[in-house]
């Protein structure tokens, strides 16, 4: 995959931490300032990847093994990269992506035993790229889990894994941030929406200028 010119920014965090709310606010704020922004998400973000999204996010928690999920999420990501992310970056745009490979590292890497090495191997083989910047929306899983469950979405397969997994993933995400400080910025997601939006916009503008 070629070396792009735009800015590739991912939002990560446990379910209900406010990523989608903040991504929407950020995209609107950047567009109002005249930036060319592509707002996308995973799993999904291209026609084929959206079809895979329905397969992986709906149904019973044991519908797929963790290994099969790694393949499905990576297949979706490859299509999303080829058709949406790389063309936008090559055109010099800012790509705001709601979740990317760090979610696979946490959800598939931790949810049913330690499969982190497998996730990383397949990522190196088929994706081979990280975002330029990753904002980690960090907060207490008890609060974010309640928010996520109250939202009552059909894409809730992973929320059904329960609060224990969300706790393990919170600390896993913080470990990832510690291991790649040049790429990660931690956002305190327990504050009110406007305060987080102002903080997020400041972090992004410092990065793109
Ligand atoms: P995520 O995309 O991380 O799962 P969402 O942005 O969908 O999270 O937010 C989950 C729920 O919490 C939504 O109902 C949203 O309106 C609400 N929410 C988001 N941010 C906040 C916040 N800072 N304070 C209180 N509620 C919030
Ligand atoms: P998303 O729609 O972002 O959910 P939420 O708004 O609750 O954060 O993502 C859907 C679910 O997919 C979420 O529970 C995390 C899971 N997921 C994985 O398990 N692996 C992945 O690689 C990705 C991108 C998401």
User: CB count, 10 Å around CB of 181?
Assistant: 9
156 CA closest ligand 2 atom index:
14
Q: For residue 152, tell me if it sits in a domain.
A: yes
- What is the predicted pLDDT for the residue at 152? 66
- What is the predicted pLDDT for the residue at 164? 84
pTM of the model: 0.95
For residue 103, the ligand closest to its alpha carbon is 2
Q: Regarding predicted confidence, which is higher, 1 or 100?
A: 100
Number of domains in the chain: 1
Q: Regarding predicted confidence, which is higher, 113 or 161?
A: 113
Tokens representing 169 are: 């993933």
Give the integer Cα–Cα distance in Å for 115 and 68.
Answer: 12
Kindly report the backbone phi and psi dihedral angles of residue 69, in degrees, each rounded to the nearest multiple of 5, phi listed first.
-60, -40
Q: For residue 132, tell me if it sits in a domain.
A: yes
190 CA closest ligand 1 atom index:
23
193 CA closest ligand 1 atom index:
23
- What is the predicted pLDDT for the residue at 146? 80
Question: What is the distance in A from the centroid of ligand 1 to the CA of 5?
Answer: 31
Which CATH number goes with the domain that contains 25? Answer: 3.40.50.300
Q: What average pLDDT does the chain have?
A: 93
- What is the predicted pLDDT for the residue at 149? 75
- Given strand 7-12, what is the order of strands in its sheet? 37-41, 94-98, 7-12, 133-138, 184-188
Q: For residue 89, tell me if it sits in a domain.
A: yes
Q: For residue 54, tell me if it sits in a domain.
A: yes
Pocket (CB within 6 angstroms of ligand 1)? 13, 15-21, 147-148, 151, 192-193, 196
Give the dihedral of Cα atoms 187, 198, 80, 14; nearest 10 deg: 30
Q: For residue 1, tell me if it sits in a domain.
A: no
The residue segments making up the domain with residue 176 are: 7-208
Q: Decide if 77 contacts 102 (C-beta within 8 A).
A: no
- What is the predicted pLDDT for the residue at 111? 85
- Residue whose Cα lies nearest atom 19 of ligand 2: it is 107
Both ends of the chain: CA-CA distance in Å? 25
pLDDT digits (tens, 9 = 90+) for 4-42: 589 999 999 999 999 999 999 999 999 999 999 999 999
Give the integer Cα–Cα distance in Å for 18 and 12.
Answer: 10
Question: What is the distance in A from the centroid of ligand 1 to the CA of 24?
Answer: 11
Give the integer Cα–Cα distance in Å for 188 and 83.
Answer: 32
Q: For residue 177, tell me if it sits in a domain.
A: yes
| 129 HSE (CA, 13 A, CB side) | 20
**Mean pLDDT for the stretch of residues 123-134:** 98
Q: Which of 11, 13, 16, 100 to mutate to test the pocket of ligand 1 (most atoms within 8 A of CB)?
A: 16
Q: For residue 201, tell me if it sits in a domain.
A: yes
For residue 45, the ligand closest to its alpha carbon is 2
């Amino acid at each position: 995959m070629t070396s792009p010119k735009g800015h590739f920014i991912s939002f990560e965090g446990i379910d209900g931490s406010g990523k989608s709310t903040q991504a929407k606010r950020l995209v609107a704020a950047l567009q109002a300032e005249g930036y060319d922004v592509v707002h996308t998400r995973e799993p999904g973000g291209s026609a084929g990847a959206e079809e895979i999204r329905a397969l992986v996010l709906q149904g019973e928690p044991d519908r797929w093994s963790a290994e099969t999920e790694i393949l499905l999420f990576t297949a979706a990501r490859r299509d999303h990269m080829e058709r949406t992310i790389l063309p936008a970056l090559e055109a010099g745009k800012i790509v705001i992506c709601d979740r990317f490979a760090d979610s696979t590292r946490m959800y598939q890497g931790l949810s049913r035993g330690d499969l982190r090495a497998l996730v990383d191997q397949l990522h190196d083989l088929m994706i081979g790229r990280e975002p330029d910047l990753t904002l980690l929306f960090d907060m207490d899983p008890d609060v974010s889990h309640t928010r996520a469950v109250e939202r009552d979405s059909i894409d809730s397969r992973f929320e059904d894994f329960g609060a224990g997994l969300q706790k393990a993933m919170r600390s896993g995400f913080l470990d990832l941030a510690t291991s790649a400080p040049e790429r990660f910025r931690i956002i305190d997601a327990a504050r009110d929406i406007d305060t987080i939006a102002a903080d997020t916009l400041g972090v992004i503008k410092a990065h793109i200028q």
